[in-house]
Structure 1
C-alpha cells in the first residue's frame, strides 16, 4: 500500500487534453456519435495486480464496442487512456481498487481535462472506499456496469487534487482519501491486516482497533500519538488552521481529507459534513478524550470538541506543509508543501 513514494516527476508531460484533440486533432476511430439504442462504447482499464483480479483472466471478447487495456504499470496508462479518447468512449470502466482509480484519474487528467466520459468502478482492490461511497455492490460485473450506463443511476463526485506548491501546474495527483500523521502509521497497520486476510471494511476495523490500543496505552512519543509536524492553511487566503493548544502546536496527531460522502466500516470522521472537500484533524489529544473520539467516529458532535483538540472543517481548498510522508488512496507522498483542492466533476455510473 505505502511501500513506494509517489514522484510527481514521473507524471507524463505535454499530453494535450481530449478537447484539443477533438477540435484540432485526429477524429474518433469508431465513427459518428452514439445513436439512440446503440450500445455505448466502453473502455476498460483492467489491473491484473489488483487483489480481486489475481489469478483471474478477463473476458476480452464480449463486444466489439468494448475496448480493453491491461497496462503493465502506471507508465503505460497515458497511452491506453489516450487511445480510449481517440476511440470516443462513452464509458470508462476501472477494474481495480482505490489505488488503480487514483492512477487512472492522475494519468487521465492531462488527456480528458474537464471532459471525462462517464466512469464506473468494479471493486477489485484490497480497499474499495470509492465504491462503498457510490453504492456499488461487491462482485459488480462489467456487464452490469455497462447495463447501468443507460438503466442505472449517476453519482457526481469531485476528486481531491494535489499539486506541489512552486511546482509545475501540470504536476497534479487525483484521488479521494488523504491521510497524514497517525493515518500513515495506520496504513502500515492496514498492510498487516491484509496479510492476515482482512480487506475492505474489515481492514479498516482492524487498523482502527490497532490504532486505538496504541493510543490508549502508548506514550506521547509513540508514532500513533505523536502524529506529524505540519501546518495547514485554509481557503484561498491560506488562513492558518486553529490549534486548541492541546499538545505541541506544531504537530497534528491525525489529518484526514476527502470528498467522499460515505466512508467504509460505518465511520463518520467528518461528522455531519457531507458534500465537497472536508477535513478532520486532531491535535495531540489526551487519553481522557477517548470517549469523545469514539462518539465522533460514529458521527456524533459533542460540545466543545475544538477546545479538546478535534476539528471538522469544510473548505474549497487548503495548503499542507508537512515534514513526513502522507497517504493518498494507499500510496505514500513525500514531505513538502502542497496545495490541495478539488479536481473536475466526474460522473460515476452506479446501480
Structure 2
C-alpha cells in the first residue's frame, strides 16, 4: 500500500509507482485515509506468510497496524516499511533508513533473487483503547501532555513554512526545549493531572509529558527510558518542574538518570506489558491525535515481524 499524500511520495510519486508495480506478485493499493487502509487489508485477507509493504510515514504505518491487529489471534503478515513520510521515526528505529526509492529497489532484489540479507525484527506494538471505545488504536509511539502540544505546534506553525524532512520536526522539538527555560513554558508545555498505573503501582502528578514505546530509540536517537523490568513496553513520565529538569535533560534523553533522579517522584520510568492512565482527554500515537473517554489502557501486542534489508 502506498500513501500518495506522504511527504516523500508526493515528490517522487511517478518514479516510485513504476518501481512498486515491478515488484513480483504484488497487489497494489493507494490509500489516503485509515478507512482506505482498512479496506485494502480486508480485501487482501493476508496470511502470516504474506508480506505487507507500507509506503508512507508513521501515520500510514499506524493505520495499517491498527487494521492488522483488530482481531485477537488473527494471522499477521510480515511487514516491510518504505520510509516515505516526514519523520519516519518508526522505520528508522526498526532499521529502515535511506531513501524510499533505495528501499523499494532493495526489496525488489530480495524478492527476485532470494537475497538472504533480509532479516526479521520481531517488535511488539502498542494497543491503546479507552473504557468507552472498543476499537484499539495500534502503533509504536504513544505520547500525552506537552508532546501533543508539540505536534500541534509543528502542524500549525512549522509545517506551513515549507521545511522539508526532519528539519520541521526538529525545529518544533527545539522550540519546545527552549520553552523549558522561558516564561512561556505554561503555554507551550501544559501538564496533565493523570494517575498512571504501571506494574501494580499508581502515581499521580501534574505530568509534563508521558510517553510509551516498544521501539529501542526515538527522534534524534534519544532513549528517554530507564526501566529495569524485562517487558516490551517502555513508559516514562516527567512531572511539572521536577528537581533539576533542565540540567538533567541530557541524561534523561540518554536514559541515564542520576541516583537522585531515580528517587525523585517527579520522574517515572518502567518497562511493562500493560499500563493505564486516568483523566486524559487526548493522546498522540505515531503522530496522530486521538480523543479519550474514560480510563486509557495501553498494552503490548505479541511481536509483529518487521523485515529489514
The verdict on a shared fold, with TM-score over 0.5 as the criterion, is yes
**Richer in helix (by share):** 2
What is the count of residue pairs matched by the alignment?
Answer: 295
Asked if 2 retains the 8 angstrom alpha-carbon contact of 1:261 and 1:275, the reply is no
Determine which of 25, 28, 40 is the counterpart of 1:68. 28
Question: Any gaps of 5 or more consecutive residues in structure 2?
Answer: none
RMSD, aligned CA: 2.6
TM-score by length of 1: 0.76
* Cα distance change of structure 1 residues 109 and 291 upon mapping to structure 2, 3 Å threshold: same
Asked if 1 retains the 8 angstrom alpha-carbon contact of 2:216 and 2:223, the reply is no
Asked if 1 retains the 8 angstrom alpha-carbon contact of 2:280 and 2:296, the reply is no
Is 1:318 aligned to residue 284 of structure 2? no
Matches within 5 A, 1:43-54: 45-54=1-10
Matches within 5 A, 1:89-238: 90-110=50-70, 113-139=73-99, 140-148=102-110, 150=114, 151=116, 152-168=118-134, 171-191=135-155, 192-198=157-163, 201-218=166-183, 221-224=186-189, 226-235=190-199, 237=200
Deviations 1:63-102 (A, max 9, x none): 5511101134321222211232268862110000100000
Shift of 1:116: 1.2
- Aligned residue in 2 for 1:17: none
- Aligned residue in 1 for 2:256: 300
Determine which of 228, 231, 253 is the counterpart of 2:208. 253
* Higher deviation after alignment, 319-328 or 139-148: 139-148
State how far apart, in whole Å, the 2-side matches of 1:127 and 1:163 are: 25
* Cα distance change of structure 1 residues 269 and 198 upon mapping to structure 2, 3 Å threshold: farther
Greater CA radius of gyration, 1 or 2? 1
State how far apart, in whole Å, the 2-side matches of 1:316 and 1:92 are: 26
* Cα distance change of structure 1 residues 112 and 216 upon mapping to structure 2, 3 Å threshold: same
State how far apart, in whole Å, the 2-side matches of 1:200 and 1:178 are: 21
State how far apart, in whole Å, the 2-side matches of 1:195 and 1:64 are: 39
